[in-house]
Amino acid sequence: QVQLVESGGGSVHAGGSLRLSCAASGSFFSIGDMGWYRHAPGKQRELVATVTNDGSTNYADSVKGRFTISRDNAKKTVYLQMNSLKSEDAGVYYCNARVALSEISYYTGWGQGTQVTVSS
C-alpha cells in the first residue's frame, strides 16, 4: 500500500507565499517522477510542476519564476514552494508520485489534495 500525505495548504493574501509538502509512505522499492497538479472550480485539472528521480524539473508557464518544486529522497517527500501568489493560483493542489513496487511493477498514486486560497 502506498500513501501520499499532503500538508501546507492555507489561505494567504495576493503576493504571499506557501510551502506545500507531500510525504510518501508504504512498502515500495523506490520513487520515480513526482509532481503537483491543481484543480480550480470550473477549470480542468492542470499540471503545475514535476521533478524526476534525478532532479530534473518542469513547470507550467503560468508558474515559472514563482514556484519551485524539489524533493528529498531520504525523507520520501516532494515540496512546492509558492511565492508571489495570485488569485489565479487558488484551488485544490494534488500530489502525484510514480513508485516502483518491484523491479518491473509500478504504481501511480495521488494525495488527498490540499486547499490553497488566495485573497486580494
* Tens digit of each residue's pLDDT, the chain (120 residues): 789 999 999 999 999 999 999 999 998 989 999 999 999 989 999 999 999 988 999 999 999 999 999 999 999 999 999 999 999 999 999 999 999 999 899 989 999 999 999 998
Residues in the chain: 120
For residue 71, give the C-alpha cell. Answer: 524533493
For residue 14, give the C-alpha cell. Answer: 495576493
User: Which SS3 state, helix, strand or coil, does residue 61 take?
Assistant: helix
In the block, cell 508558474 appears at 63
Q: What is residue 81's predicted lDDT score, i.e. its pLDDT?
A: 98
Pairwise CA distance, residues 10 & 4, whole Å: 18
Q: Which residues pair with 117 in a beta bridge?
A: 11
Contact 14, 8 (CB under 8 A): no
Q: What is the DSSP letter of 73?
A: T
